[in-house]
Amino acid sequence: MAEAAISDTSRGLRIAALTSVAMLAFAANSLLCRLAMAGGRIDPASFTALRVVSGALALSLIVMVQRRRRPRLKADWRAVAALTAYMVFFGFAYLTLKAGAGALILFGAVQLTMFAWALRAGERPRPLAWVGLAAALSGLVYLALPGLSAPDPAGCLLMLLAGIAWGVYSLVGRGASDPLAQTTGNFIYTAPIVLIVAAVSLSRLHVTLAGAGLAAASGALASGCGYAIWYAALRGLSSARAAMVQLSVPAIAALGAVVLLAEPLTPRLVIASALTLGGVGLALWRRTRRQA
């Protein structure tokens, strides 16, 4: 009995740690993307292609080091399609959308996609979870409000599609028996597709050394390794909780921008971050208590 309780607690802590690292990786990815796009360091198609290719190479290297063999191309074509859509739509959406509006649309679409699936599958979040979700969403709206005055319709549509695609990718990933191999295969099969997209956009390609380096860091570290960790964490999360915890990423990224990019720390940012992170914590509180 005691051993089972210790095992449950250990598993809960492991899932919490994996989830925390994945959220930090996603936030780091947003910061790298912002920095790369600023000042015309790189165009969206090139950034996306370099991001995916570097992610595929990094994941393949990890598999070879860990397992002493070449990676098997184990991929789910639903995940490949979703990953491709997310990567492409996300990169091009930020040509016209402000960062705040884009983050709100992206993670709002993710939340709606995963919650719709959770309800369809019979999951019924407790009232406290709904309160936490409402608080988290209100924080995101408050944070992104200045960017919502006149968002570009085409950019909004692209980011909405990116959010739906990421929600689908996360849902598919919950069933992965080997998260690392699955993520590696997904990236390897996605790479030639985004290279074709870059080739189609050949006349608009623009890459600087700094932009290429940021794209490679985004792909190898924040995307490739981050997604592998996220796939592992998803095995211990319900669809509803997986959707809610991702709402912390915009607030974490905004705070990271203050520390790393010297963006001003405003009262609006502090309040929005407290609402978002507090709401996510409230939504996950009952599960944490049960596992303890």
Compare 292 and 263 and report the one with higher pLDDT.
263
Residue 79 β-bridge partners: none
Most confidently predicted of 29-33, 110-114, 118-122, 160-164: 160-164
Alpha carbons within 13 angstroms on the beta-carbon side of residue 83 total 33
The helix (run of H) or strand (run of E) holding residue 260 is: helix 249-260
φ and ψ at 184, to 5 degrees?
-60, -50
Residues 6 or more apart whose CB falls under 8 angstroms from that of 258 comprise 264, 265, 269
Identify the pLDDT of residue 288. 45
CB 93 within 8 A of CB 162: yes
Residues of the domain holding 88: 2-291
Share the mean pLDDT of the chain.
80
Q: Give the pLDDT score at 291.
A: 44
Report, as an integer, the average pLDDT of 168-184: 80
> Tokens in use for 171?
């849902």
Region of 211 on the Ramachandran plot (φ > 0 left; ψ -120 to 50 alpha; else beta): alpha
138: tokens are: 């209100």
What is residue 73's predicted lDDT score, i.e. its pLDDT? Answer: 67
pTM over 0.85: no
pLDDT given at position 46: 92
> 264 versus 163: which is more confidently predicted?
163
Q: How far is CA 127 from CA 109, 281, 286, in A?
A: 21, 14, 11
Instruction: Report helix, strand or coil for 72.
Output: coil
Helix pair 44-67, 209-217: axis angle to 10 deg: 50
pLDDT band at 248 (very low <50, low <70, confident <90, very high): confident
Give the 3-state secondary structure of residue 207.
Answer: strand
State yes or no: pLDDT of 84 exceeds 90: yes
CA–CA gap between residue 231 and residue 173 (Å, rounded): 6
d(CA 59, CA 255): 28
pLDDT tens readout for residues 209-231: 999 999 999 999 998 888 888 87
What's the pLDDT score for residue 165? 94
Lowest mean pLDDT among 16-30, 103-117, 154-168, 191-205: 103-117
Average pLDDT over every residue of 129-148: 74
Give CA separation, 72 vs 50, 207, 210, in Å. Answer: 22, 32, 32
Per-residue pLDDT tens digits for 252-288: 877 787 777 776 677 777 787 788 777 777 766 655 4
Report the domain count for the chain. Answer: 1
* Helix-, strand-, coil-residue percentages of the chain, each rounded to 5: 85, 0, 15
Q: What is the pLDDT of residue 216?
A: 94
